[in-house]
Amino acid sequence: MSNDTVYIDRFLEMMAAEGGASQNTLSAYRSDLEQASSFAKGKLADSDRDALQNAASAWSDLKNNSVSRKSSSLRRFFGFLVEEGFRQDDPSDALPRPGGQRSLPRVLSHDEIARLFETIETRLASQQIKPNDARLSALIELLYGSGLRASELVSLPRKSVMVDRPFLIIRGKGGKERLVPISDRARSAVKRWSDFVDADEKYLFPSRTGHISRIRLFQIIKDLAVKSDISPAKISPHVLRHAFATHLLEGGADLRALQTLLGHSDISTTQIYTHVDSARLVELVNNRHPLSRRNLTR
């Protein structure tokens, strides 16, 4: 079994669980990726920009819609590889874009985030807190408050959050480590949940076979969305991670800081996952540009 086969299977599992992709969509992704892998002699995941450009040259006789779909499949695939730490760079910007610019990722508004936490706070207000509610609080605080990847979150060691330490040490794929700040309220939520976890457990969010799966995390978040009167189609672990980055950017964080927090090796990846609305960009130009403070009407 080639590495491509493993990576493609994991990618499709992610698209089914976190993206809610239909069976037809998954079949289309698999077809596009397996064709590209065959062209790359089973080394698609290791392809560089030149290799992808060569692969795209075989699409010259296809209609724009087909080229756009294939490019989109490969971009998502390489975005997944970078996001999960399987490679350091994303060469997919070398692919053609016949359909125009890439659409912005989904993101939740501040109001929608507030509704999620209101639902959690209502559950925690009961005299006897249920274990599942304590776990839910810890999961969401870490996802939105620290921008963890789903895979990083579910596999956190039980002792990874310390009462006297305002950060996590996250070890990604390939042994790469990064420091992730953790808020006081997130530490409090984790402490509350830890009281329900046996001291001998290896993971902070254990299951019968190890730790909870990404699919289970996805289901938990979808259920929270429904109870918060938010369309479950709008939310996933990655959407909360993206909301973390976007809302920090809106609050004044710079891309380099976000790159560090998100664990991106390439700043271009950070630019894809963080965006601001056009109204804020206009406000920045009008209020922050040096010429905005000069009277040019004299």
In whole angstroms, what separates CA 266 from the centre of its chain? 15
Question: Among the residues of 195-277, which ranges form H helices?
Answer: 214-227, 237-250, 255-262, 267-273
For residue 295, give the amino acid letter. Answer: N
**CB under 8 A, 24+ apart: contacts of 108-112:** 108/230, 108/234, 108/235, 108/239, 108/240, 108/243, 110/247, 112/228, 112/230, 112/234
Distance CA 79, CA 91 (A): 9
In whole angstroms, what separates CA 188 from the centre of its chain? 24
Catalytic residues: 149, 173, 238, 241, 264, 273
Instruction: Provide the total of helices (H) and of strands (E) in the chain, helices listed first.
Output: 13, 4
Biggest distance spanned by C-alpha atoms of the chain = 75
Distance CA 115, CA 199 (A): 33
Q: Closest Cα partner for 261 from 245, 246, 272? A: 245
Around Cβ 218, how many Cβ atoms within 10 Å? 22
Q: What share of the chain is helix, strand, coil (3-state, %, to 5)?
A: 60, 5, 35
